[in-house]
Structure 1
Amino acid sequence: MTLIHINALGVTLGDPLFTDLTLTLSKGDRIGLVAANGRGKSTLMGCIAGTFEPTKGEITRARGLRIGHVAQHVAGEQLQQTLYEFVLAALPPEQADFEGWCVDVVLGDLQVPYELQHKLLSELSGGWQRTALLAAAWVVEPDVLLLDEPTNHLDLHRIGLLQDWLAALPRDTPVVITSHDRAFLDATTNRTLFLRAERSRVFQLPFSKARIALDEADEADERRFANDLNKASQLRKQAAKLKNIGINSGSDLLITKTKQLNDRAAKIEAAAKPAHQDRSAGDIRLTNSGTHAKSLITLDDVEVTTPDGRTLYTTGKKWISQGDRIVLLGTNGTGKTQLVKMIHQALLGAQSPVKCAPSVVYGYSDQQLSQLNDADTPMLAVAGQFDVGDQRARGLLAGAGVNIQMQDTKIAGLSGGQKARLAMLILRLQQPNFYLLDEPTNHLDIEGQEALEAELIAHGASCLLVSHDRSFIRNTGNRFWWIDRKRLVEVDDPEAFLADEIAMG
């Protein structure tokens, strides 16, 4: 049964975000909505929810349809409500008076601890705020659920819980999910919409299989386009020959035939569609300077502690050598970021039990992208730090997905995705031989994640990284350190850890 029908929908905000989009949403659909950052995913969600007016086209919704829309952020004034009050306020006033127990049921299903339910939203993490938004949308028992980046700020445990919660929803409840978490999309969706400025594509497959089908379809388009242009070229060559013969012989028939051939060629050229190219969101290219050091970083039974001095674990004897892409695994609170910070301080020259080779040139990026100064502009961050010249700096920024209009505005005004790409560009320009990366894929779209993976591998980069993204962990790491029972142990692969974390959900 069709609940929502989207017909020839388009939104233009300066440039077209998407055009001529046609899609049906039926009972049982679990649709993954995929696009680069800033390409209209949240805008399309707003159109479906009825909070944003499209430029063209129409959306038909079943009579009386209730839509639950989980946005990415809690509105500023709502941050002064407790989590419980925020969810209760989602109910109609008459229902809130007599059916407040619904809130308790939903918060119980989402495993929100009682002590957090009565804290102000402003005091809670981004992950718990995201859970509050989900609870508020679900408590009204919607017929359709729209989830905009639901895994942002969630650790693997909470992602596993969310996957289980979605799997337990009534099977006929349709869900639309925007996410950059490829493993999450694979686990929760059965259809995939690749949203594009032109010719968006829908596949009856979860993300990974749909991505293969998309690549095949794009390759077929490329072959078709080349064939069409070749046909047109051949026709024009025939026309040129006939024209010469016709002129020399004075044959009106051949002149007419020449015109017909040229008209056919023009029609083929006009109808030919080039293959989709979606690289304008910015490429990430990393480079690394050389080093002859065998061991870049040495940990000789280093004790990792909390800021107040409590021991979290000891490392044993560990080395990071050239070409090692080490993923640091551990549940939240076990001290992954503490080790990253210890290594960073040692690289800065602080007195430390961590030993660094003198030839190490490091690149560092943390979860908050603290290496960026929000008061700077992207131009100042690049041209002011590196000897590249203004014109080259603008080209580099455009290639990293920071368009010309944003290059002279404050970094504070950039989107999360633009900040992440700017941080990766600055890493590239530093030309490190060792990368220290704490959640580098936060806010990076799927295209950006894949580019970062490919570059780390292609350049034989050495790195220590922390990530909650299962696909990124699997694709990038070639060594794995697991913080397990107050020891740092090396394991062959991350699968046991990932299975444990998701099962805990």
Structure 2
Amino acid sequence: MALINIRNLAVTLSTALFSNLNLSIAAGDRLGIVAANGRGKSTLLRSIGGSFEPTTGEITRSRGLTIGHVEQNVPAALLPLSFHDAVLSALSSEQADSESWRVDIVLDQFDVPEALRQRTVAELSGGWQRLALLARVWVTDPDALLLDEPTNHLDLAKIARLESWLNALPRDVPVMIASHDRAFLDATTNRTLFLRPEQSPIFALPYSQARAAIDELDASEERRYQRDMKVAQQLRRQAAKLNNIGINSGSDLLTVKTKQLRQRADRLEDAAKPAHQERSAGAIRLANRGTHAKILVTLDDVQVETPDGTPLFRTGRRWICQGDRIVLLGENGAGKTRLVNLIRTAIEEPARAPETLKVTPSLVLGYSDQALAGLSDKETPLAALSRRFSLSDPKVRSLLAGAGVGIDMQDKPVGRLSGGQKARLAMLVLRLREPNFYLLDEPTNHLDIEGQEALEDELMKNEVSCLLVSHDRSFVRNVGDRFWLIERRRLVEVEDPEDFFAAAAQGDGS
């Protein structure tokens, strides 16, 4: 029995986000919602939750059904509250007075340490803030859950914990998940909706299987379209020949036949529809200026420390060679970002580097951190590029448009861009620097699946040399060809990341 019924739903803002959407949600459904950045996933969830009025169509919910909606952003009113009180405030005043014990049960379910429960939301990491939002919804005991990008800012251990929690939910609680995390969708969903402007296909499959199915469907529709257009062209050529013969012979029969052929061609062309082409949210391209050096970075048992000098781990003797795509693995706090920053400093300010860390002088660095800190929220995209590169104004505007930052946003502060636009802008800055070595800290943050796949293709196609840190398991598996793991205060090379992922799923890693 359907708990939520969606009929002929459509939302049009500046353009159509989706239309003709028909969908039923029943107990046991775990629905993944997939679309590019800005294509209506959050809007659909808000429509289902009742906080957004769609352009047309209707949504009916079972009588008394309560829906818990976990949105992406933390409301400002929650920031000064403690973790515990932020969750408590989701209850009614009566419940807060008599059933505050429910908060502790939910916080225990999410393994929230006692030390964090009294810390303000503003002081929490992005990952714990996400879990605070989820706890606020779950403490109200909803009948259905809507999750908008639930893995944003979560490390591997928290993603694994969230997967386990979702998979242990009562089967009568349907869950709808909008996400760009391919591995997460595979682990938690049994249906997939590809949200599109005209028709939005739905498959009773988790993401990867559904993706293969929709790719084949699109390819089949494109073959059918090309075949129909070819037949229409042939009919028009036949009609033209018969028309010439009919004119010369004065045959009324040939004139009628010519008209019939043209009408058949018209009907074919009118009915033929090209396969769906995803409108790009902005191109991602990388550059690799190359270098003759074979060994780019030498680590001669470097000691990696916290800012106050506390030892974290030693690297042993290791090398980063041209063409290596090394993924750095380790628990949160193990020192991954510290090592990345040491190598960055050695490239940009060699005099500050330890004697045990050597880089080839020909290295040109492309660096991106997970917070995109190199981009000022107050600066405009136009100024950000003009300040860094000697390019004409028309060229800068053209590059920005190609990266998904439209003319309307180019003179507005970077802080007003979406997360996906910021990420694509950061990648554009990297490309224009023309590096030959990349340090990438969580490069897929804010990128949709199209962007992730484009970044993967660019890293592979350009034979980029890089050291990267990522919690995106699909990205790590697709890109990495070497894997360094920080464990027991040592840096070791492992064959693949699977044991580390498995340990994180069991709560032993991050």
| Fold shared per TM-score above 0.5 | yes
SS at 1:260 equivalent: helix
Give yes or no for the alignment of 1:493 onto 2:465.
Answer: no
Q: For residues 439 and 279 of structure 2, what CA distance do their matches in structure 1 show?
A: 26
Q: For residues 372 and 28 of structure 1, what CA distance do their matches in structure 2 show?
A: 43
Q: For residues 254 and 64 of structure 2, what CA distance do their matches in structure 1 show?
A: 66
Partner of 2:229: 229
Give 4+ residue runs of structure 1 displaced > 4 Å after superposition.
Answer: none
Partner of 2:281: 281
Give yes or no for the alignment of 1:399 onto 2:402.
Answer: yes
Q: For residues 215 and 44 of structure 1, what CA distance do their matches in structure 2 show?
A: 23
* Identical columns (%): 63
RMSD: 1.4
The correspondence of residues 323-342 of structure 1 with structure 2, limited to 5 A, is 323-342=323-342
Q: For residues 7 and 237 of structure 1, what CA distance do their matches in structure 2 show?
A: 44
Q: Given the alignment, which residue of 355, 363, 368 partners 2:366?
A: 363
How far does residue 386 in structure 1 lie from its aligned partner after superposition? 2.7
SS at 1:80 equivalent: coil
Q: For residues 210 and 393 of structure 1, what CA distance do their matches in structure 2 show?
A: 39
Give yes or no for the alignment of 1:440 onto 2:443.
Answer: yes
Partner of 1:470: 473
Amino acid at match of 2:467: L
Partner of 2:40: 40
Give yes or no for the alignment of 1:382 onto 2:364.
Answer: no
Q: For residues 122 and 219 of structure 1, what CA distance do their matches in structure 2 show?
A: 48
Q: For residues 260 and 81 of structure 1, what CA distance do their matches in structure 2 show?
A: 75
1:48-98 CA-to-partner distances (Å, cap 9, x unmatched) read 101001111111111111101001112112222222222222222322222
How far does residue 110 in structure 1 lie from its aligned partner after superposition? 1.1
Amino acid at match of 2:197: A
How far does residue 279 in structure 1 lie from its aligned partner after superposition? 4.2
SS at 1:288 equivalent: coil
CA contact (8 A) 1:302 1:314 kept: yes
CA contact (8 A) 1:280 1:399 kept: no
Deviates more, 1:487-496 or 1:384-393: 384-393
Partner of 1:220: 220
CA contact (8 A) 1:281 1:399 kept: no
Q: For residues 205 and 211 of structure 1, what CA distance do their matches in structure 2 show?
A: 9
Amino acid at match of 2:389: F
- Alignment length (residue pairs): 505
Q: For residues 101 and 351 of structure 1, what CA distance do their matches in structure 2 show?
A: 53
Give yes or no for the alignment of 1:296 onto 2:306.
Answer: no
Partner of 1:79: 79
Q: For residues 440 and 327 of structure 2, what CA distance do their matches in structure 1 show?
A: 10
Q: For residues 487 and 103 of structure 1, what CA distance do their matches in structure 2 show?
A: 39
Deviates more, 1:121-130 or 1:323-332: 121-130
Q: Given the alignment, which residue of 447, 450, 459 partners 1:456?
A: 459
SS at 2:8 equivalent: strand
SS at 1:363 equivalent: strand
1:136-168 CA-to-partner distances (Å, cap 9, x unmatched) read 111121111000011111111111110110011
Deviates more, 1:296-305 or 1:89-98: 89-98
Q: For residues 49 and 468 of structure 1, what CA distance do their matches in structure 2 show?
A: 29
Amino acid at match of 1:462: S
Q: For residues 407 and 257 of structure 2, what CA distance do their matches in structure 1 show?
A: 49
Amino acid at match of 2:79: L
CA contact (8 A) 1:239 1:262 kept: yes
Partner of 1:183: 183
Partner of 1:29: 29
Q: For residues 143 and 199 of structure 1, what CA distance do their matches in structure 2 show?
A: 28
Amino acid at match of 1:85: D
Q: For residues 217 and 391 of structure 1, what CA distance do their matches in structure 2 show?
A: 40
TM-score, structure 1 length as denominator? 0.97
Deviates more, 1:325-334 or 1:405-414: 405-414
SS at 1:327 equivalent: strand
1:347-389 CA-to-partner distances (Å, cap 9, x unmatched) read 1124212211011111000111112122222222234433443
Amino acid at match of 1:231: V
SS at 1:25 equivalent: strand
SS at 2:79 equivalent: helix
Partner of 1:420: 423
Partner of 1:248: 248
Q: For residues 411 and 276 of structure 2, what CA distance do their matches in structure 1 show?
A: 30
How far does residue 186 in structure 1 lie from its aligned partner after superposition? 0.5
Partner of 1:261: 261
Q: For residues 21 and 331 of structure 2, what CA distance do their matches in structure 1 show?
A: 41
How far does residue 273 in structure 1 lie from its aligned partner after superposition? 1.1
Deviates more, 1:134-143 or 1:144-153: 134-143
Amino acid at match of 1:219: A
How far does residue 311 in structure 1 lie from its aligned partner after superposition? 0.5
